Structure 1
Amino acid sequence: MDMTTLSLPRTTLADSVDQVLLRGARAVLEQQRTDGAWQGFNDAGVVFTSVALVHERWLGALDEEDAALGVKRLRAEQRDDGSVPPWPRARAGQLDATCMWYAGMHAAGVDPADPALSRARSFITSKGGFGRASLSARITLALAGVIPADTLPDPGLAFRLLPGSERLLAKALGVNTLVWIHLATAVFDLLHHGPGEAKGHPIRARGRRSAIEYFTKRQDPSFGLMGVGPATLTAAIVLAGFGVPRDDQRIRGALAYCDQLKRRTEAGLEVSPFLSDHWDTAQLVHALVKSGIPASHPAITSAIGFLVRGRATQPGPTDWQTPPRGAPRTGGWAYQRGNGRNPDLDSTAEVLAALALASPRQMFGDVIHAGEAWLVAMQNPDGGWGSFSTGRPAAPPGPLYIDPASLPASLRPRTPVGRALRRAWMLQAEAGDPSNADITGRVLRALGALGHDATSPPVARAIAFLRSHQVPELGAFWGRWACNYLAGTAYVLAGLGAVGIDHRAPWVARAVQFALSRQNADGGWGEDIASYADPAEAGRGPSMPTLTGNVLRGLLAVGLPRTPELDRAASFLVDHQEADGRWVDDSCYTVLFPHVAYGRNPTLPLCFALEGLSAWRGAR
């Protein structure tokens, strides 16, 4: 494909799609880094800028220019009522986000008498005050010196010294929860009892030494902690607070790692929660090849080289991964470079799908085989895949992070005891790392690309899992990491199509019908994050290029022919391409934690629009 000219006349939809794919592929190629990767900025809102300001100020490492830029960015996000939105384009301000914003402004040196802080305090007071904020928000406030430490709990560090405590926690908790429990208890101890080695208090001193050892062992050679900026900086505070010199490489390295997450512009300082270059690169390789760029193109070979180099080669901490006995200890990929201790199943599936599509087996067969072996070994007993580990407690069918009284009727407990039991089950799953439908769908797409079909034992178990987790009234699948039912359903359909399951299966037809029933009049699909609280909002919202491309790809993957509905979806994507070849999607699609944090990444609309239109072009 000639990437320098645009010569096709736009006389038919098919011609338009060809031209749009050409422009879109060119836009992707222009954004590639010199190391072969793509990296979009993960914008999850100003909360993460605030947290960075607080943490760096505590460590004595806040650059004053960054402080000024941070204040500029924070001021721009405050609303007229004094509140601050918790994520981009949130409908309303929120207590937690406003408290963290306040802590960030305070850490950056803004006078408490400043009108912006006064308005924020008025909003916070109207919501019950700082004491009504979540524990994570109050930790940030205490680190900034806004509230006293004695307003926080002090559970002590003695639990760290109990034999088997680490193994017990690992059986129940996912890595996200596990690490934050270790971090929070250490910060509580630091805030209540002050910095230093706790000489004269032997139990506390041993607990602090244990915390230093824990975080030192789990810090990646890049000095990040599980690839997450706030966790990395909080661990640095714990190390410094418990006696590690602030010029120690563990602390300096953590600060340097988190500096990569910053974007400094005329609008101010933005801080992303994490990098995503393995994920972004794998998805865009797939989209480029599907759109017609040959696998031999230098951009593709360079990207494949980046991905191959990024594979985790050292075993991760056993409490994070809990691999089954006899399973490979390595083979996967993390969401980003520099996070080799925490590969995840989702990113591994995306990278394997890209490698299977774009790389010669004779060159990288060993790498692909090792990744496939690790991924298959990490399948849960229920047949699905979680995010980071295997063997954590399973989740009940249907959505999580929701009041049981708001569940679809068939899943809704009828009695108070039933609701309490369901809520307890859900909380256990939310704190762990259970199988979920969207990851399982993406793993199936990778396994299909690697030659598996519906007769393959791991695929058959995965299909049984998906059937048990389909929401009966909707026919849809709940999305843990992408918003939400439409995204989850699209990923499942793409995975089923890859292993040879098509739309004629009745349960698949119900999923297809759900997606088609939610198509907007303009041909696109959209979904608001309100669906995480209310399933009645499932699949409803203004059309989004990201979601439209994903749903179009999923529907075509299970063998739907071109229909007027799918033609309208393709037309929506054609009509919404920017002049520079990109698609812009300001809505949040990425989910960090439902109800708490959502984000957006500019590579996602590019990826899914290209994949959706490529699938439409290849359909009959």
Structure 2
Amino acid sequence: MEKQELQNRFDELAKILVKDMNPQGFWSGELSSSALGVAVAIAAFHFYDAEQFKLEIAKGFDWLKNNINADGSFGDSPQSPGNVSTSLLVYGATNLYSSSEADVALLQSKVGQYLLTEGIDTKSSQVADYILEHYRKDYTFSVPILTMCGLCGVPDERAFDRVPQLPFEMALLPRGFYRFFNLSVVSYAIPALIAVGIVIFKKKKSSAFGRFVRNRSVRKSLALLDRLAPASGGFLEAIPLTAFVCLSLIEAGYGDLEVVKKGIGFLKQTQRGDGSWPIDVDLSTWVTGLSVRALRNQKDKVLSQEVQDQIANHLVRIQNKQVHPFNGSQPGGWGWTNHAGAVPDGDDTPGTILTLLKLKPIGEVQAPAVAGCDWLVGLQNRDGGFPTFSRGWSKLPFDQSCADLTGHALLAISATIEAVGDGVNGKQSKMFRTSIVGAIKYLEKNQQANGSWIPLWFGNQLTSDHSNPVYGTARVLTYLRDASRHQWLNPNLKSRVSELISRGEQFLVHSRNEDGSWGGDKSVVGTMEETALAVSALTGSEHQKACDDGLKWLDFSFKRNGLRPSPIGLYFASLWYDEKLYPLSFYLEALSRAIEKLK
């Protein structure tokens, strides 16, 4: 495409981006509605006060009726194929009303027929067999699913005989000990460990010793749960997690607790006008960073200085400045949203550092940027990689180091070194540089034989294993290419980074589709998100034809489908979502980079 064509499209999309800013002057985005979130929220309302929330429950069921798949299933998003987990939760919610409401009974019948085609008789132990086999050692999602089903009478009154007991008493140990014990749930699901563990304890037979220990632990565990609850009432600002906690505590006999009342208030406040819920309130910090950085060298043309200052001040204001009550995280990091339930993490922190460096002269953001880098270095694992929330947790996949977060942290720390120069003290400078060397080693060790990297929090529903090597490789490549331009890097490090980039480029070129697009892997249907990210990663390389073909496909897709998002995000043990701003911000970044190379 010609430079002017690219510029015209950039200008068109930039106007859309500016219109999508919220009244507070940053971006909130819009996550897809979630059938799983709807089902669990309905159950929480029912157990809390079915009469009081009669209207909200009815609206939730109306949304489910209008969004059921043709085969009677429910997926994680309206664009997702059906899956057993979400469909089972919907079936459980319908079981609360199927005997009294004909339309809900019809909905349940459709879902039940789908589950039968998957070999699951909802009146038998096949429910537990399937879920436990599917999630295996990770109880983060499987045990809450089975718990809600059991509370809803699925399969029958003996349901809890098959539900594993979560060791909620372990949450009372000092946080530093968590990673040494097999808690069977990921680090960010401690509220579910406590609440779901308590209701299972109340519903399930156990040994005399087990009952003695857990009886003595309940009161202190509930007090801990109360301390973990944010002001908003939403644990992690997540609808499913908050609803699981609420319905479990209610059915365990603790419905009058303040943590339940606040959680129910959060669920009421977050229900959408169409009756649905997203999986999380929003990803405002994440999508704000993506939006600003997508504009690159044209940001001053699109955003006034006043708006840029407003965004930067907002991001500095929401930096975590104390030990975080949820997981004991040290000050300096950023979570995914400005709402109270966010927890600092290893992707939003580097993203925000890079955004601040883009918006302000280094003298005005040096303190928060350096504090963010300090936080990242403290998060880095011994293997050189960066996890999401907590250093040293490695038993379950969502707590382990991963390539895309490691590349992102590497770029943020490197960019800060480049910008601050001698402004970083000697000890910090050595620490930052050592961190980058470790990150490079991690990326070298974890680059796949075909040159790809596998991301953690993003996937593709259409790949055989639901992984997304195109996303992971495109992101890491972009981070490495940007970092390789920093003057402070010595020749040896630049050479090692160059080798990683070369191998990653080969994977991306070989994984593109014949029509010029990219999906999650070779021969997977292309999306705007993955194609735009791949174009950004390859721009400036020797593979100009691949970039040109990708831009042509993006142009065609935009004209035909607009900015239609695709499920690409992963959350809470493989729960899919799409985000309205992903195709827009990713496409803008691809255009920005392409235009710069044509100058």
8 Å CA contact 1:290, 1:614 repeated in 2: yes
Q: Cα–Cα, structure 1 residues 341 and 565, in superposed 2: closer, same or farther, change >3 Å?
A: closer
User: Distance in 1 between the 2:107 and 2:244 partners?
Assistant: 27
8 Å CA contact 2:40, 2:243 repeated in 1: no
- Given the alignment, which residue of 18, 35, 39 partners 2:7? 18
Which residue does the alignment assign to 2:106? 115
CA shift for structure 1 position 312? 1.5
Cα displacement string for residues 523-565 of structure 1 (whole angstroms, at most 9, x for unaligned residues): 22112xxxxxxxxxx3432221111111111223xx4157222
Which residue does the alignment assign to 1:585? 564
Q: Cα–Cα, structure 1 residues 105 and 291, in superposed 2: closer, same or farther, change >3 Å?
A: farther
CA shift for structure 1 position 132? 2.5
User: Distance in 1 between the 2:194 and 2:288 partners?
Assistant: 32
Which residue does the alignment assign to 2:585? 607
Cα displacement string for residues 546-603 of structure 1 (whole angstroms, at most 9, x for unaligned residues): 11111111223xx415722211222222333359xx9523421111256x42110011
Q: Give the number of the structure whose residues are more often helix, by fraction.
A: 2
2:476 partner amino acid: V
User: Distance in 2 between the 1:26 and 1:158 partners?
Assistant: 52
User: Distance in 2 between the 1:140 and 1:180 partners?
Assistant: 12
CA shift for structure 1 position 341? 6.5
Which residue does the alignment assign to 1:232? 242
CA shift for structure 1 position 234? 2.7
Which residue does the alignment assign to 1:314? 322
User: Distance in 1 between the 2:261 and 2:572 partners?
Assistant: 29
User: Distance in 2 between the 1:574 and 1:508 partners?
Assistant: 27
CA shift for structure 1 position 59? 1.6
Give me the TM-score of the superposition, normalised by structure 2.
Answer: 0.82
Q: Indicate whether 1:220 and 2:204 are aligned.
A: no
State the Cα RMSD in Å: 3.1
User: Distance in 2 between the 1:111 and 1:87 partners?
Assistant: 28
- The DSSP-based 3-state class of the residue aligned with 2:410 is helix
Q: Cα–Cα, structure 1 residues 471 and 157, in superposed 2: closer, same or farther, change >3 Å?
A: closer
User: Distance in 1 between the 2:171 and 2:416 partners?
Assistant: 45
CA shift for structure 1 position 35? 1.3
CA shift for structure 1 position 342? 2.0
CA shift for structure 1 position 503? 10
Cα displacement string for residues 433-460 of structure 1 (whole angstroms, at most 9, x for unaligned residues): 1110011122223223323599932111
User: Distance in 2 between the 1:236 and 1:577 partners?
Assistant: 42
Which residue does the alignment assign to 1:495? 479
User: Distance in 2 between the 1:255 and 1:25 partners?
Assistant: 38
Q: Residues 146-185 of structure 1: matches in 2 within 5 Å?
A: 146-148=154-156, 150-153=158-161, 160=169, 164=173, 167-171=176-180, 174-185=186-197
Question: Which consecutive residues of structure 1, in runs of 5 or more, have no partner in the other structure?
Answer: 1-11, 194-200, 324-328, 394-427, 528-537
Q: Cα–Cα, structure 1 residues 49 and 121, in superposed 2: closer, same or farther, change >3 Å?
A: same
- The DSSP-based 3-state class of the residue aligned with 1:312 is coil
8 Å CA contact 1:29, 1:299 repeated in 2: no
Q: Residues 73-92 of structure 1: matches in 2 within 5 Å?
A: 73-91=63-81
Which residue does the alignment assign to 2:121? 129
Q: Residues 88-103 of structure 1: matches in 2 within 5 Å?
A: 88-91=78-81, 93-103=82-92
Question: Which consecutive residues of structure 2, in runs of 5 or more, have no partner in the other structure?
Answer: 132-142, 206-210, 420-429, 460-467, 485-493
- The DSSP-based 3-state class of the residue aligned with 1:349 is helix
Moved beyond 6 Å, runs of 4+: 154-159
User: Distance in 2 between the 1:44 and 1:448 partners?
Assistant: 37
User: Distance in 1 between the 2:269 and 2:296 partners?
Assistant: 29
8 Å CA contact 2:565, 2:583 repeated in 1: no
CA shift for structure 1 position 300? 2.5
Q: Indicate whether 1:480 and 2:456 are aligned.
A: yes
CA shift for structure 1 position 498? 2.2
CA shift for structure 1 position 211? 2.1
Which residue does the alignment assign to 1:51? 40
8 Å CA contact 1:229, 1:258 repeated in 2: yes
1:116 partner amino acid: L
8 Å CA contact 1:477, 1:489 repeated in 2: yes
CA shift for structure 1 position 102? 1.5
Cα displacement string for residues 128-154 of structure 1 (whole angstroms, at most 9, x for unaligned residues): 223333243322222334444532247
Q: Cα–Cα, structure 1 residues 80 and 499, in superposed 2: closer, same or farther, change >3 Å?
A: closer
Q: Indicate whether 1:446 and 2:412 are aligned.
A: yes
Which residue does the alignment assign to 1:423? none
The count of corresponding residues between Structure 1 and Structure 2 is: 540
Which segment drifts farther, 341-350 or 359-368?
359-368
- The DSSP-based 3-state class of the residue aligned with 2:570 is strand
Q: Indicate whether 1:64 and 2:54 are aligned.
A: yes
Percent of aligned pairs with the same amino acid: 21
Which residue does the alignment assign to 1:524? 517
CA shift for structure 1 position 288? 3.0
Q: Cα–Cα, structure 1 residues 28 and 435, in superposed 2: closer, same or farther, change >3 Å?
A: same
- Given the alignment, which residue of 241, 247, 260 partners 1:251? 260
Q: Cα–Cα, structure 1 residues 148 and 520, in superposed 2: closer, same or farther, change >3 Å?
A: same
8 Å CA contact 1:282, 1:307 repeated in 2: no
User: Distance in 1 between the 2:528 and 2:360 partners?
Assistant: 28
Which segment drifts farther, 489-498 or 298-307?
298-307
Which residue does the alignment assign to 1:280? 287
Q: Residues 258-297 of structure 1: matches in 2 within 5 Å?
A: 258-265=267-274, 268-294=275-301, 296-297=304-305
- The DSSP-based 3-state class of the residue aligned with 2:11 is helix
8 Å CA contact 2:312, 2:356 repeated in 1: yes
Which segment drifts farther, 154-163 or 219-228?
154-163
